[in-house]
């Protein structure tokens, strides 16, 4: 299972105490899931929430990106056929053909960026179409440039 998480400390809206939030994304059965749970150290405020779907709430994505940095997905070989790439992108994201072509062009040139879990999920979809792809840290690469 691919997973990534972060612990964030904020102020409790109910009592003003310290609220600890655990935030994360993971892949389960080929699907993107996200979860968040929080508990106040002072009052009984607590919750746990989890869901799946095409998009993770932006606050969760941004917390993961701030803590871990973005991951970059690239095609492993320069001569990869467009057809399986386009099919994988369209199936996964429900893209139009024009949108899938633009995303495939980005994948071939600069690479796609997102959270590690999001990029691993796309890499797995490409792999099911026999398209080799690599996921790497975008911040390490940028520092080397």
pLDDT of the residue at 139:
64
pLDDT of the residue at 119:
95
pLDDT of the residue at 78:
72
pLDDT in tens, 10-40: 999 999 999 999 999 999 988 999 999 999 9
Q: What is the CATH number of domain 71-144?
A: 3.30.1390.10
Contacts with 142 (C-beta within 8 Å, 6 or more apart), sequence order: none
For residue 104, give Cα distances in angstroms to 16, 39, 112, 121.
47, 42, 9, 15
DSSP per-residue string spanning 85-97:
HHHHHHHHH---H
pLDDT surpasses 70 at 141:
no
pLDDT surpasses 80 at 145:
no
Stronger pLDDT, 54 or 115, i.e. the higher one: 115
Q: Are strands 18-28 and 112-114 parallel, antiparallel or unpaired?
A: unpaired
The pLDDT confidence band at residue 143, using thresholds 50, 70 and 90, is: very low
Radius of gyration over every alpha carbon of the chain, rounded to an integer in angstroms? 18
pLDDT in tens, 86-102: 999 998 888 899 999 99
Residue-wise burial string across 35-48, b where 16 or more C-beta atoms lie within 10 A, e elsewhere: bbebbbeeeeeeee
Domain boundaries, the chain: 3-68, 71-144
The pLDDT confidence band at residue 123, using thresholds 50, 70 and 90, is: very high
């Amino acid at each position: 299972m691919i997973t990534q998480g972060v612990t964030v400390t904020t102020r409790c809206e109910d009592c003003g105490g310290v609220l600890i939030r655990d935030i994360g994304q993971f892949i389960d059965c080929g699907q993107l899931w996200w979860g968040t749970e929080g508990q106040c150290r002072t009052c009984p405020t607590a919750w746990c929430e989890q869901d799946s779907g095409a998009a993770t709430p932006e606050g969760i994505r941004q917390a993961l990106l701030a803590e871990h940095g973005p991951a970059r997905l690239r095609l492993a070989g320069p001569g990869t056929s467009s057809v399986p790439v386009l099919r994988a992108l369209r199936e996964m994201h429900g893209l139009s053909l024009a949108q899938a072509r633009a995303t495939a062009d980005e994948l071939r040139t600069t690479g796609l960026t997102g959270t590690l879990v999001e990029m691993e999920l796309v890499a797995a979809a490409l792999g099911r179409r026999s398209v080799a792809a690599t996921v790497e840290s975008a911040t390490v690469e940028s520092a080397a440039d």
